[in-house]
Amino acid sequence: MNVVITGASRGIGFELANLFLDEGHKVLAISRNKEKLTALKNKGASILPFDLCEESFTPIQTALDSIGGNVDILINNAGALVNKPFSKLTNEEIKHVYNVNVFSIIKLTRDLMPCFNDDAHVVNLSSVGGVQGSVKFPGLSVYSSSKGALTILTECLAEEFKDTNYSFNTLALGAVQTEMLQEAFPDYKADVSPRQMATFIYRFAVEDGKLFNGKTITVSSSTP
């Protein structure tokens, strides 16, 4: 399969890219951090150092040629977080979080759709904090609300393209021991490693997720 993964230079995204490569899939790994993508390149991934806040996504469309020009799986994993009291948030911080967590996903999915194979699967990685009725935490208003927007986007895409064989699903993740978790909860230690969560996401993207469309599935053993 041809797989596109954003936020591939660290955490869950890095482990996902490794899993797909280990299983013989073609991977286009995208991240701003070129240096950290080198390890994936050495394993056979096509890499693209790219900032998802850029206006034009033409470089991503062009880079698709390196994995055959088509997309079987798109995993929107890149995310941005600001842990700050609501009254202290700057316009720049709000814009950045929504640019990465919402607008870039809208643009990337739209721009790559002409290259989707017939049964393409789009997996959006969200957070338990973006699920209605879940526990919320001070300082994460912009992050959690952006993840809530991603949930609704997934439902809308499933409805709009229900006459195709495309699948759009969201996985709302709980606590995973990543750098982003440390930004949100500096003193918290999660029981789930990035590799463990990546293993679940891999199976969902390739197999289990094809049984769902427009769903948000909570994947959490604990929430800080």
Which structural domains are found in the chain, ordered by start? 2-219 (3.40.50.720)
Using one digit for the tens of pLDDT, what is the confidence trace for 154-195?
999 999 999 999 999 999 987 555 676 566 667 766 577 889
Three-class DSSP labels, 5-33: EECCCCHHHHHHHHHHHHCCCEEEEEECC
Question: Would you call 55 helix, strand, or coil by DSSP?
Answer: coil
Other beta carbons within 10 angstroms of residue 10's beta carbon come to: 16
What is residue 161's DSSP assignment? T
Q: What is the model's pLDDT at position 181?
A: 52
Using one digit for the tens of pLDDT, what is the confidence trace for 67-98?
999 999 999 999 999 999 999 999 999 999 99
**Beta bridge partners of residue 172, listed in sequence order:** 126, 218
Question: Would you call 127 helix, strand, or coil by DSSP?
Answer: strand
Residue 42 host element (H or E): helix 34-42
Asked whether the predicted pLDDT for residue 102 surpasses 70, the reply is: yes
Q: What is the model's pLDDT at position 177?
A: 57
The size of the chain, in residues, is 224
Q: What is the model's pLDDT at position 48?
A: 98
Using one digit for the tens of pLDDT, what is the confidence trace for 105-118?
999 999 999 999 99
- Arithmetic mean of pLDDT, 138-152: 93
Mean pLDDT of the chain: 92
Q: Tell me the pairing of strands 26-31 and 46-49.
A: parallel
